[in-house]
Structure 1
Amino acid sequence: SQFKLRFLPDLNTTVEKYRSEGKKVYGLTLGDMTWDQYWYSNRYDLSKYLITIKSVDLPIFNCTGNHDNNPYCADDWQAEQAYKDIIGPTYYSFNLGNAHYIVLDNIQYINTGASQGTIGKRNYNKKLTEDQLSWLKKDLATVTDKNAPLFVAMHAQLYANPTSLPQKNTISMSGGSTLVNYLKEFTNAHVITGHTHINYTIEPSDQLIEHNIAAVCATWWWTGKNGYANNHICKDGSPGGYKIFSINDNDVKWLYKGIKEEESKQFRSYDLNQCHITAEAFAPESTEAEMGAYSDTYGTKNNKNEILVNVWGYDPEWKVEMTENGKPLEVTRVVAKDPLHIISYEAKRLNVGATPTADFVSCATAHMFKATASNATSTIEIKVTDRFGNTYSETMNRPKSLSCSMK
């Protein structure tokens, strides 16, 4: 029900908007269309997903993820059989307009301890098998226009989330180096991945870019759960959502669309003087010691008049500017956790006596930017310009409080 309420109406509105502009619209999932543990406990398997997604009026191409494997099978081939029976092949390619699309399966499902009636550990490797790489090489050889857009979609990320600056681009998947080598002859290649529930962009060359795209379910629906934060936020502070690619001949543009957000919403700002996360303020049923384990740097009161801006679609071609009374402030890219996610997930879980699940807690992200104002109450003008020249702005009136309802 949460899937229908949050994601489907928003996507249908987007589809209608672009169709009204005379554009053809297609959808591509990046896996985890179901939740493997619910196949049997909630009787929601891939066939139920197909029924749900029919309410979206557009052709959809699917990519398999780790949660789309049968949790009763401890063998990759057998575990993906339900996907092949219900959805289709786990890797394939197709053309739309000038662009060539390749969908891969980079989840090698291990699922230690599984048997009929018993769910295994659901462990897996992020890997492209030799058979798949051999097929991929042959498929790429059929693409004669090396300057045309080429999209390679798979569930798990090719490059790891960069959490140090200067940014290091580290391949995090077996077979990833081979894939990158295969793509070197293409000048307009895009790798599209998911899995992480966060946004980040890796551009190892001027010919290749990876878009690791956050999830429509955000932190697995947690922050929108009844009695929780009543928002929809990912582990890196991005709103739950999806990325829109606009392709005109060989020209490719994109933006991230938060669910129930305008396309112009591309960042969120924080007055760090007001971002003091304590149990008293955000988890009164917990303890300061428990909250302190998750509050990160925000557990200590900050009086430095610093501004933090989270730009979830950021890549090195973007520009972030801040001014105070017309005077430009020095803006520095930093690695940090998003304070709104901490109070929306970790604090809310602690407040009901639950331990935050490690996979869902706030993660460090490098799409953060910091500047220091001259005092605690001045108004800050924030201007963000993406790589295509689109600008997004905010007049930040301070003090700006931290709350689960903030935008």
Structure 2
Amino acid sequence: MRTLYLVICLSLFAADCFAANNKMASGTVYCDTNRNNLRDKGEKGIPDVRISNGKDIVSTDKQGRYQITVDDETLIFIIKPKNWMTPVNEFQLPQFYYIHKPKGSPAKFEFPGSAPTGPLPASVDFPLYPVKEPTRFKVAVFGDTQISSEKGINSYARELEELVGKLDVAFGISLGDNTGNWLLMFDVSNRITSTLGKPWYNVQGNHDLNLDAENEKYSNETFERVYGPAYYAFDYGDVHFIVLDTVLTMRWKEDDKYLGYRGGLESDQIAFVRNDLAYLPKGKLVVLTMHIPLDYRAYDKENLKAFFNEISDRENIIALAGHNHILENSFLDANSLWPVFKPLHTMIVGAVCGSWWEGSLNEENIALGTMGCGAPNGYGIFQFDGNKYTMKYHAFDFPEDYQMRIWTPGKIFANQSAQTNIYVNFFAGSRKDTVEMKFGERGQWTKMKWCPDVDPFIKERNEIEKAAKGDTSVTIYDANQYYFSQHIWSALLPANPPAGIHVVYVRATDRYGQVFDGKRIIRVE
């Protein structure tokens, strides 16, 4: 009897604590006919729109109303449905959330978080306006812009100039590390990106954190103030996008001044993904966007397994990441902890800043920071059509059809030709692609061998950088020259070609059926 009484008391105490720390937020999702971000008379509620508190998900009723549990550190956000759009602010950042932090963020941070929001409003409403979203559309995907200096600001602005008024996409996504730990740079980064005139979603990276936070719970405060929740979801056309926060922070040692990090997803986020996917048909294409790639070497294995178990039954899924400053396609299988037979396609999409805006400057004062994989800095354009997708890489400062770099020695001796390799770096290539070459216009197409290796261009560039400095000091390419690029192909040149000038033709066919070509003029003696 005493045991029963104790259980009842503990249950009542727990309920009281829950009630003290949790409230019910309510509001309406409505059609903002005049787009003034206010619910005016006659603007009707929208049914069947999903709302989340970062874990639970509810749907609006026939009048567009909802109720959801919140505590005093909750971001309430809408999961944008197909053929509807949220407002954007002056920086083209989608406004799909409400921050409920009555006491605000901790005040001691070097970079400010949210100001106190006061009591929970009687109604937290979300405006949407109708748009016609095509089933076939393009998305620009930026990897690490990593602005942390005047050099980075100027280089990023110069690179985007070529895209202003010309970027033909529905919206853009940046995959984290908008800054290099100096979070005040969010402002200038957003201002530059907004010149493209497209709605722009953002992922949190490890250099976008409040590293002076007490723990993981408060490491997102500045990011949340600027961009909203660190993880969320939305629909566009027939595709469902989930933005993930794959940066878990911790102190490696108790006396560490700043937080460290590793790859991972905290439990509420995994629950959010589970609840979100429960609303979707199995065949719907799901695009996961994140900063740290889903690599078991960077994650706690049990944490990654738990996440994989939530997504592995999807029939159509792709994961896009940044962080590593390379281009790389992987197809995860059991060796990578992926639990089902059909591999998971993951892609690291490169870095806008290349190798951290390092390297010699070109005539426009932009750093030539070629990435460790040998690809130039750039961004990806993904085209979606129903549950299908294709991807094309766009290198800054090069023509749109520049998809590969071909490397041979500057001069080739005819009697050594058969022992001389030609190397092709097909920037967005993978082991599932085919690369061929032919020697001269009348030559026969020969299939090249996929052979992950250090791009010889990186070694060559390293020597150029050292010579330009006039010494043997360390350059950005010293580290890069040890990276085995996963998109290198090679083949031997034909034996005993005639002396003179010749053209080597290269043809690359990717896994989507897209065909790209390149040429290299060589001199034979």
The 5 A counterparts of 1:41-190 are: 44-73=184-213, 75-110=215-250, 120=258, 123-143=260-280, 145-159=281-295, 172-174=298-300, 175-190=303-318
1:214 matched residue in structure 2: 350
Deviations 1:15-74 (A, max 9, x none): 74454xxxx5201010000011x45xxxx4323433333322111100000000123335
Q: Does 1:30 align with 2:175?
A: yes
Q: Distance in 1 between matches of 2:211 and 2:270?
A: 26
SS of the residue 2:307 aligns to: helix
Count of residues paired in the alignment: 352
CA distance in 2, matches of 1:359, 1:92: 38
SS in 1 for 2:392: strand
Moved more, 308-317 or 106-115: 106-115
Q: Distance in 2 between matches of 1:311 and 1:55?
A: 30
Report the equivalent of 2:78. Answer: none
Taking a change above 3 Å as real, the CA distance of residues 226 and 331 of structure 1, as seen in their structure-2 partners, is: closer
Instruction: Output the aligned Cα RMSD.
Output: 3.3
Residues 1-400 of structure 1 correspond to what in structure 2 (within 5 A)?
A: 2-3=151-152, 5-8=154-157, 11=160, 13-14=162-163, 16-17=165-166, 19=168, 25-36=170-181, 38-39=182-183, 44-73=184-213, 75-110=215-250, 120=258, 123-143=260-280, 145-159=281-295, 172-174=298-300, 175-204=303-332, 206=342, 208-225=344-361, 231-272=368-409, 304-325=419-440, 326-345=443-462, 348=465, 351=469, 352=471, 354-356=473-475, 360-362=479-481, 363-373=483-493, 374-375=495-496, 378-399=502-523
- Alpha-carbon shift at residue 93 of structure 1 (Å): 0.8
Alpha-carbon spacing, 1:182–1:202, altered in 2? closer, same or farther (3 Å): same
Corresponding position of 1:279: none
CA deviation profile, 1:158-210 (whole Å, cap 9, x unmatched): 13xxxxxxxxxx66433333333322222220101010000111123656311
Q: Would the alpha carbon gap of residues 137 and 343 (structure 1) be closer, same or farther in structure 2, given more than 3 Å must change?
A: same
Whole-Å Cα distance in 1 between the matches of residues 254 and 418 of structure 2?
Answer: 53
2:265 maps to a residue whose letter is L
Matches of 2:265 and 2:298, distance apart in 1: 12
In 2, Cα distance between the equivalents of 1:129 and 1:247? 30
1:14 Cα deviation after fit: 4.6
Give the deviation of 1:256 after TM superposition. Answer: 1.1
The Cα shift of 1:109 comes to: 2.1
Query: Comparing both structures, which one devotes a greater share of its residues to helix?
Result: 1
SS in 2 for 1:147: coil
Amino acid of the structure 2 residue aligned with 1:265: Y
Would you say the 8 A contact 2:163–2:196 is kept in 1?
no
**What are structure 1's unaligned runs of at least 5 residues?**
160-169, 276-300, 401-407
1:379 is displaced (CA, Å) by: 3.4
After superposition, the Cα gap between the structure-2 partners of 1:342 and 1:71, relative to the gap in structure 1 and judged at 3 Å, is: farther
* Mapped contact 2:164–2:195 kept (Cα < 8 A): no
Q: Is the 8 A contact 1:27 1:61 kept in 2?
A: yes
Q: Alpha-carbon deviation of 1:229?
A: 9.9
What CA distance in whole angstroms lies between the structure 1 residues aligned with 2:409 and 2:463?
A: 19
Q: Which amino acid aligns with 2:436?
A: E
* Cα distance change on mapping 1:226 and 1:103 into 2, 3 Å: same
Q: Matches of 1:55 and 1:114 in 2, distance apart?
A: 44
SS at match of 1:61: strand
* Shift in Å, 1:7: 4.2
Report the alpha carbon displacement of residue 365 of structure 1 after superposing the two structures with TM: 1.3
CA distance in 2, matches of 1:114, 1:256: 43
Q: 1:142 to 1:357 in 2, by over 3 A?
A: same
Q: Secondary structure at the match of 1:185?
A: coil
Unaligned runs of 5+ in 2: 1-149, 333-340
The answer to whether the Cα contact below 8 Å between 2:408 and 2:421 also exists between their aligned partners in 1 is: yes
Return the offset for 1:147. Answer: 1.6
Per-residue CA deviation, residues 314-343 of structure 1 (Å, 9 max, x unaligned), is 124421001224134352111211222334
CA shift at 1:253, angstroms? 1.6
Q: After superposition, what is the alpha-carbon deviation per residue over 1:200-257, rounded to whole angstroms, capped at 9, x for unaligned?
A: 1112365631111110000001124479996341111111011111122333221111
Aligned-residue sequence identity (percent) comes to 22
CA drift of 1:307 comes to 0.3
**Letter aligned with residue 509 of structure 2:** T
Q: Which structure shows the higher strand fraction?
A: 2
CA contact (8 A) 1:6 1:259 kept: no
Change over 3 Å in CA distance of 1:343–1:396 after alignment to 2: closer
SS in 2 for 1:179: helix
Query: Whole-Å Cα distance in 1 between the matches of residues 196 and 479 of structure 2?
Result: 28
Q: Distance in 1 between matches of 2:479 and 2:257?
A: 21
TM-score, length basis structure 2: 0.60
CA distance in 2, matches of 1:107, 1:302: 49
Bigger Rg over Cα? 2
